Amino acid sequence: MAKTELLIKGPIFGCRMCGNCLLQETAFICPMECPKGMRNGPCGGVTPEKNCYVDETRKCVWYAIYKRALKTGREEILLEVLPPLDYDKVGTETWGDVVRQVRRIGTKEFIGSFFLKDKKKKDEVWDSVFKTIRQPEWWKGDSQYHSKPSAEPASDLEKRLLNGDFIIVTEVTPPLSAKKDKLIKDIESVKPFVTAINFTDSSSARPKMSSIACSSVAVELNAEPILQITSRDITRTGLQATAIGVNVMGIRNILCITGDNARIGSSPVSSMNLVDIDSVQMLWILRRMRDEGIYLDGRTMKVPPKLFLGAATSPFASDPVLQAIKDHKKVNAGAQFFQTNLIFEPDRLDLWLEQLDKRGILDKVYILVGIAPLKSYKVAHYLHTKVPGVNLPEKILTRMEKAGESAPEEGVQIALEMIDSIKNKKGINGIHIMTLGWEAMVQRVVTESGLNPPTPLKGG
Ligand code: SF4
């Protein structure tokens, strides 16, 4: 049966026999050819030509799925949070499960649904067959928003956002060695000016001091960390263990990201087939741990972790309509705050914000916009050409190039202009200053941005 299924589904749908079929939800295009193993929508790396940034010779499979779903009026089904693979099933057929479900609802009714003109009815019949297959008991994914049952904030960051404060966060670059002097110096230097500090998780797929270690140093220094976890480097077991472990260390803010693909990282390139969970699944798992006190396998825990959950978003990665669908899904899965990719075209943000508003999620998620003071033309050019989802308009590139030796000053002025054009937009709750290793500039950018002087961090 498995061989027959592959022979038929392979050429028609690009099926890879994952044994956990989602075709009905993914506009009948198999998502398994995505090199990042994304099962819940595109990453932020689609190229302007809609190709995959990991392998630019191929079209982004998720872009194709979204386009077809929009064309056939099935985009809302894309909001359903889909489970990670059950590896017991990988390589096995799903037709046996389908036949059992068809028998359960009645073969006649199922065949009759092919001829139904009423789309809603047709979808109901199909869902009664396929939903039980793609949503096993241990996952129970849906397309609903789940508000947090407790109003108690998990962290200072959540508390201040709840208060309606306009927030400034930044990031400190993790060290490349086992020495923490510079890390301490950088944390101390930015701490008085921000509410929380991001620590990246081996950005660009190159190893550095772990985000957990950096976050724990921040806690020791009475600074509030935002722990970044990439799905590239973690399994479902590791994620759950990390969430409860870091909680007892005082780490409450977790940013769930997919992370850069191994192919753009250090050589020799590691396996790209080890992706166990994606960022949407991370959010879903952590939200259920926090709100329902359960592990993925259904075991309950006496003391659930206190978490403030965030996600990354790349407003300009693809069409804002498509990006908003993915962001909507993240909010439904559990994202309480977004940190955007670097923004250099504030006006373009409006289209994306409009789409979030249309979807009714602008008031369900806090948005912190990524801003970077550019240190040189080389940095500007690198971001524009090498970093997926980041686009610098020609006029900014020209300004940086013409500035010559004054490029760092020009970069700060550009950052201040960005903050000025973004801070009053509806739906924006703060700024994320991405230092790109230039932590010394945080004080100046915050002080000169005209934002309210930041209130001290706890203990600060
Ligand atoms: S661009 Fe991202 S989502 Fe699209 S196929 Fe490539 S890795 Fe997957």
Q: How far is CA 127 from CA 13, 102, 134, 151, in A?
A: 19, 11, 10, 35
Eight-class DSSP state of 230: E
Let me know: does 228 contact 288? Beta carbons within 8 Å. no
- 2 — phi, psi (to 5°)? -65, -40
Ligand 1 atom 8, closest CA: 34
In this prediction, residues 347-365 reach a mean pLDDT of 96
And the tokens for 213?
A: 């270690």
Residue minimizing CA distance to atom 2 of ligand 1: 43
Token pair 């790109």 in the structure block, residue: 436
Q: Ligand 1 mean position to 306 CA, how many Å?
A: 32
Q: What is the largest CA-CA distance in the chain?
A: 76
| Nearest CA, atom 1, ligand 1 | 52
**Choice among 29-33, 64-68, 256-260, 374-378 with the minimum mean pLDDT:** 29-33
Q: Is the CB of 29 under 6 A from ligand 1?
A: no
The secondary element (H helix, E strand) that includes residue 370 is strand 366-371
pTM (2 d.p.) = 0.93
Q: Is the pLDDT of residue 430 over 70?
A: yes
Task: Find the 46 Cα to ligand 1 centroid distance in Å.
Answer: 6
Res 247 pLDDT > 50? yes
**pLDDT tens sequence across 201-219:** 998 889 999 999 999 999 9
d(CA 119, CA 127): 12
Among residues 72, 460, 159, the alpha carbon closest in space to that of 336 is found at 159
Task: Find all residues with CB under 8 Å of 307, minimum gap 6, and list them.
Answer: 154, 243, 247, 252, 253, 254, 286, 287, 289, 290
pLDDT-derived band at 272, boundaries 50, 70, 90 = low
**Full DSSP string of 206-228:** ---S-HHHHHHHHHHTT--EEEE
Pick from 219, 365, 382, 192: nearest CA to 211: 219
Closest ligand 1 atom to residue 59 Cα is 5
- Ligand 1 probe mutation, 33, 38, 278, most atoms within 8 A of CB: 38
CA 42 / ligand 1 centre spacing (Å): 6
Q: What percent of the chain has pLDDT over 70?
A: 94
What's the burial of 348, exposed, middle or buried (CB within 10 Å: 0-12/13-18/19+)? middle
Position with higher pLDDT, 424 vs 33: 424
Ligand 1 probe mutation, 50, 54, 275, most atoms within 8 A of CB: 54
60 lines ligand 1 (CB under 6 A): yes
**The predicted structure's pLDDT at residue 366:** 98
- Residue 61: in which H helix or E strand, if any? helix 61-71
Chain centroid to Cα 402, Å, comes to 35
- % the chain with pLDDT above 90: 61
Q: pLDDT at position 460, please?
A: 44
Of 22-26, 29-33, 315-319, 374-378, which gets the smallest average pLDDT? 22-26
The percent helix, strand, coil of the chain (3-state, each to 5) is 45, 10, 45
Burial label for 50, CB within 10 Å (0-12, 13-18, 19+), is middle
Ligand 1 atom at minimal distance to the Cα of residue 51: 1
pLDDT for position 21: 76
343 neighbors 373 (Cβ within 8 angstroms): no
What is the mean pLDDT of the segment spanning 170-189? 96
Arithmetic mean of pLDDT over the chain = 90
Residues 40, 82 contacting (CB under 8 angstroms): yes
Find out whether the peptide bond into 305 is cis, omega within 30 degrees of 0.
no
Ligand 1 site, residue 39, Cβ cutoff 6 A: no
Residues 6+ apart with CB under 8 A from 449: 416, 419, 420, 423, 431
Least confident of 54-58, 165-169, 212-216, 368-372: 54-58
* Residue, of 54 and 229, whose pLDDT is higher: 229
Task: Tell me how far the alpha carbon of residue 449 lies from the centroid of ligand 1, in angstroms.
Answer: 36
Confidence category of residue 274, pLDDT binned at 50, 70, 90: low
Ligand 1 center to residue 62 CA distance, Å? 7
**pLDDT, tens digit, for every residue of 435-459?**
998 999 999 999 999 886 556 545 4
Q: Do 341 and 315 touch, CB atoms closer than 8 A?
A: yes
Q: Report pLDDT for 457.
A: 47
320-333 helix and 61-71 helix, angle to the nearest 10 degrees: 100
What are 190's two structure tokens? 């930015």
pLDDT (0 to 100) of residue 9: 66
User: Is the CB–ligand 1 distance for residue 38 below 6 Å?
Assistant: yes
Q: Which pLDDT score is estimated for 5?
A: 65
Would you put residue 303 in left (φ > 0), alpha (ψ -120 to 50) or beta?
beta
**What is the helix (H) or strand (E) element at residue 107, kind and residue range?**
helix 107-113
Question: What pLDDT score was predicted for residue 377?
Answer: 96
| C-alpha distances in Å from residue 223, one per residue of 250, 369, 391, 410 | 11, 21, 32, 30
In this prediction, residue 261 carries a pLDDT of 79
pLDDT in tens, 125-167: 888 888 888 888 999 999 999 999 988 999 999 999 999 999 9
User: Is the distance from the beta carbon of residue 37 to the nearest atom of ligand 1 less than 6 Å?
Assistant: no
Rounded to the nearest 10 degrees, how much is the dihedral formed by the CA atoms of 95, 98, 103, 109? -120
79-92 per-position pLDDT tens digit? 999 999 888 888 77
Pocket residue to mutate for ligand 1, from 39, 53, 55, 278, most atoms within 8 A of Cβ:
53
Residue 39 in this model has a pLDDT that exceeds 70:
yes
| Residue 255 · residue 227 · CB < 8 Å | yes
Tens of pLDDT, residues 332-341: 999 999 999 9
Residue to mutate, 43, 260, 319, ligand 1, most ligand atoms under 8 Å from C-beta: 43
- Dist CA 279 CA 277 (whole Å): 7
